[in-house]
Amino acid sequence: MNRVTPIPQQSMNGASTRRRSIMAISLVVAVFALVGILSASAIFPPAVKINPETDSREVPVDTLLKISTSRFRGSINSVEVKETLLDPMGTPVSEEIISGHLEGGIFVPDSGPLLKPDARYEVTVTADLRQLSLTGFDTEQVSEKVTFHTVVTPAPLVSGSAQVVEIGSPIVVEFNTPIEKFDYTLAPEVPSTATIDADNRTRVLISFEGYQQGQSYTLTVTAATAENGAGIKQPYSQAIVTTDPLKVIFVPGDGESAVSTSARPTLTFTEDIRNPDIADSLLAIVPATLGSWEWISSDTLEFRPLDDWTEGAQVTISLKGGTEALRGASGSYLREDVQSTFTVKPSKFIDVNLSAQTVTLYEHNQQVRTMICSSGSKATPSLTGTYAVYAKAEKLDMEGEDYSAPDVPWVLMFNGDYTIHGNYWATTFGVPSSHGCVGLPVTDAEFLYNWAPIGTIVSIHY
């Protein structure tokens, strides 16, 4: 007789508990797995991979353009490759869309090599990518774009205008890419040394000896090798000039007479002055005059005397030149010391009226005396203009092509051989009859000689 042995209630409860535990663990594992997959999809979404990467530079021209998709066998829909050729300054010269196709994840152009030097490439790829979601796999259309530059051919950045070089400064040659070797010529030939700037290897500094202002040179870059190994395609030339000498205009001008007693002399330079603060130490006035120098503009200096100038005084203003003196904005400088002398209008003034044939004397603008004269004839007329007596002689022998007059008395010289003097051989006055001088009766000439000091203004007019 068979007997059924009852299973203890405790055993049945244990098996049931184990089954429930296994099911719970499996469910947890499944949930974590799903969460992990979804998290991975969120953290690493499907994408198109393009190599070279965006913003890559100095890409060798033999580099392959590789295109692929990430995960779940996405499909590439289109590839567009735009090529932009660049000049040495990085300015676009031409653009072209390169046709081609993918072979094993590599873009192959339909003709010729894919990459060229000195170019920018924009690669745009569209693709359908599969992504895992709670409902299964979803398809997403994405677009990816990268931009990269190929290797740069070195070229100096020359300009159509000349490079101006001041004393103490080098010629600067800028390149479009860092370089490691450099060769050049400088014509006319002068001793020079070239150095690649350690702080900026796109720059070459050329210093040369025997600097002189106002010189012109031609710099020719004959060879250069970039750090990427590329060399220049051809020689390049650049005009080099040194600064023009700094110049100054004095007002009143050198030799000017009848200058106002209240005049404020000025010095105007041919360009703005970069170191105006040192002007006082470079200027001198003779005779010493109290006053101050003031810059009334960036290129003009004015002297402001405390008192009026002395009537009839000769004033000399001098300015030191050289490389340690005033420098123009371009670095120019006065080649040498300069000076200018003017004569202050004296209190006495001689007016010669050729129409009236008279000589009138003024002092402090008051008429002192009027005398009749004989000026130059029609064939040998007297000069007109404003002059100053520069020398005097009690007697002077005068000779010309057709005359000889010894011991001419009371001579005032105002312009070369032109004078006012006593005329002892004339019998009448008031008629133009001389060889160009202004003749007076001897007694009038003596009075004038004793009355007019050197520097007296002589104005001759019709």
Q: Strands 418-422 and 438-440, how do they pair?
A: parallel
Token pair belonging to 241: 């000039």
Q: Write out the CATH class of domain 248-343.
A: mainly beta
- Does domain 163-242 fall into CATH 3.30.360.10? no
Token pair belonging to 178: 């860092």
Mean pLDDT, rounded, of the chain? 89
Nearest Cα to Cα of residue 317 among 276, 281, 284: 284
Output 10 or 295, whichever has higher pLDDT. 295
Global pTM exceeds 0.75: no
Determine if residue 26 is left, alpha or beta; phi over 0 gives left, psi from -120 to 50 gives alpha, anything else beta. alpha
- pLDDT by residue (tens digit) across 47-57? 889 999 999 99
Output 139 or 61, whichever has higher pLDDT. 61
- pLDDT by residue (tens digit) across 159-172? 889 999 999 899 99
- Does domain 48-149 fall into CATH 2.60.40.3780? yes
- pLDDT by residue (tens digit) across 186-223? 999 999 999 999 999 999 999 988 899 999 999 999 99
Examine domains 48-149 and 163-242 and report if their fold is the same: yes
* Partners of residue 391 on adjacent β-strands: 413
* Partners of residue 186 on adjacent β-strands: 219
Decide if 297 contacts 307 (C-beta within 8 A). Answer: no
Residues of the chain with pLDDT > 70, as a percent, come to: 88
Quick one: pLDDT at residue 138?
Answer: 76
Q: Taking the CA atoms of the chain, what radius of gyration do you get in angstroms?
A: 48
CATH level 2 (architecture), domain 348-461: Beta Barrel (2.40)
- pLDDT by residue (tens digit) across 332-375? 999 999 999 998 888 899 999 999 999 999 998 899 999 999 99
4 has a pLDDT exceeding 50: no
**Quick one: how far is CA 97 from the chain centroid?**
41
456 has a pLDDT exceeding 80: yes
Please list, residue by residue across 144-183, b when 16 or more beta carbons sit within 10 angstroms of its beta carbon and e when fewer do: bebbbbbbbbbbbebeeeeeebbeeebbebebbbbbeebe
Residues of the chain with pLDDT > 90, as a percent, come to: 74
Whole-angstrom Cα distance, residue 429 to residue 437?
Answer: 13
Quick one: pLDDT at residue 17?
Answer: 60
The domain limits of the chain are 48-149, 163-242, 248-343, 348-461
The residues near 117 (Cβ < 8 Å, ≥ 6 apart) are: 61, 150, 151, 152, 153, 230
429 has a pLDDT exceeding 70: yes
Three-class SS state of 445: helix
